[in-house]
């Protein structure tokens, strides 16, 4: 049995002061159902990726809230939490529900409303995805954790400050052509290097923004998908893995074992290897994150991600276009929605609907990370 994506939907990403938490998901879900040509009454279940609505908007029990607001009662709705990998994890749960035979058609989405609290509260909430006893309690934040990873990568492999900046420059350039992206402005290496220091060596323009937004996809069994489309996008590989929650317990600080192991599972299930992937959306919450991702996913050797970025290998038109959407850095990072939004971008690319940023691809990959690498989820997509 195969699982297909037959519809996708997004909201605009950004500081959406005029929009409520529940409305974001309903808007993205309605867009996905419309895109699929599916009536809401045919939806059999909902899976929602969300990191921390309780802290961001004082709302728990969000699976019920979303089903209710979407007019989809009494179907089952389930919330999935895996920090910033919540969306990718929700997608995997939706896939498994169809492969198990329980359902033929489900909606998978992710949503986060992060701007309703002060930046300090947002930083504290995100830090709950780190080790509270040994990291957050001592004042460590996620920029600090990724700064340590960046500094060690630079020390071990010779990665340069300019190579980190080039990740941000590329992704901002790509985001200009994504109408849903938070930022539509090009930046230069000098802009990155001269932006305020957040945690050395990371500067402001190395870091993803605080973002509101939602994303949804409609999943269907192979049989059901053929009732709605002649050109489904199949998810042929799915992998999930964990690693130590705390950075100090890792064998190698600049190597994310969870990504390596999740990718191995996804490649095996899809019958593919890294050389088969033609476009990828990877987790670039910080610029060093993209460099580590393209190494850990097998696109480049460990330690060579910075050089590959500098040589344009990850550009549109390069060896492996990465983050054509603008990535978390420029598209935005509403943490619970990110993994699903990555899937939306790959579907658009494989359909040929990514206007202004289109690549020639039949096979794509998404990579979603929770925390500093405690969780990783990888999916592989192919044209039907």
Is 379 in the active site?
Answer: no
- Give the Cα separation of 309 and 289 in Å (integer): 12
Residue 177 a catalytic site member? no
Report yes or no: 303 and 377 within 8 Å, Cβ to Cβ.
Answer: no
Q: What is the Cα–Cα distance from 362 to 359, expressed in whole angstroms?
A: 10
Count Cβ atoms below 10 Å from residue 305 Cβ, excluding itself. Answer: 29
The Cα–Cα gap between 6 and 20 comes to 27
Contact 185, 176 (CB under 8 A): yes
Q: Are 266 and 300 in contact (CB under 8 A)?
A: no
Active-site residue, from 153, 172, 333, 367 = 333
**Which residue in the list 84, 207, 216, 367 is annotated as catalytic?**
84
How far apart, in Å, are the Cα atoms of 134 and each of 52, 131, 139? 21, 6, 9
Question: What is the C-alpha to C-alpha distance for residues 267 and 365, in angstroms, rounded to an integer?
Answer: 10
How distant is the alpha carbon of residue 110 from its chain centre? 10
Cα Dmax for the chain: 56
Tokens encoding 181: 């992206």
Q: Give catalytic residues, as residue numbers.
A: 84, 333
């Amino acid at each position: 049995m195969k699982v297909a994506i037959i519809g996708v939907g997004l909201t605009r990403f950004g500081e959406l002061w005029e929009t409520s938490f529940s409305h974001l998901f309903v808007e993205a879900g309605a867009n996905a159902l419309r895109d699929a040509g599916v009536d809401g009454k045919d939806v059999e279940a909902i899976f929602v990726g969300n990191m921390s609505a309780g802290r961001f908007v004082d709302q728990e029990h969000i699976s019920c809230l979303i089903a209710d607001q979407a007019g989809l009662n009494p179907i089952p709705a389930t919330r999935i939490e895996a920090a910033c990998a919540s969306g990718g994890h929700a997608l995997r749960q939706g896939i498994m529900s169809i492969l198990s035979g329980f359902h033929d058609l489900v909606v998978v989405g992710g949503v986060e409303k992060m701007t309703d609290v002060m930046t300090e509260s947002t930083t504290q909430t995100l830090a709950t995805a780190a080790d509270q006893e040994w990291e957050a309690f001592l004042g460590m934040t996620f920029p600090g954790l990724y700064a340590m990873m960046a500094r060690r990568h630079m020390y071990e492999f010779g990665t340069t400050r300019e190579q980190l900046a080039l990740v941000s420059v590329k992704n901002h350039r790509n985001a200009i052509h994504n109408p849903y992206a938070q930022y539509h402005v090009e930046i230069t290496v000098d802009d990155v290097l001269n932006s305020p220091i957040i945690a050395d060596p990371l500067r402001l323009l190395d870091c993803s923004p605080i973002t509101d937004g939602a994303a949804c996809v409609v999943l269907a069994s192979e049989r059901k998908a053929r009732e709605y489309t002649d050109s489904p996008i199949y998810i042929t590989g799915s992998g999930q893995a964990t690693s130590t929650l705390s950075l100090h317990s890792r064998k190698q600080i600049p190597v994310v074992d969870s990504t390596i192991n999740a990718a191995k599972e996804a490649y095996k299930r899809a019958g593919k290897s890294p050389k088969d992937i033609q476009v990828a959306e990877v987790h670039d919450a910080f610029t060093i994150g993209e460099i580590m991702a393209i190494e850990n996913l097998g696109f480049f050797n460990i330690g060579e991600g910075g050089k590959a970025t500098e040589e344009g290998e990850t550009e549109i038109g390069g060896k492996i276009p990465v983050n054509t959407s603008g990535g978390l850095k420029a598209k935005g990072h509403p943490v619970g929605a990110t993994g699903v939004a990555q899937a939306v971008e790959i579907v658009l690319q494989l359909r040929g609907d990514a206007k202004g940023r289109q690549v020639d691809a039949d096979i794509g990959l998404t990579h979603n990370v929770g925390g500093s690498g405690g969780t990783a989820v990888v999916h592989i997509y192919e044209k039907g």
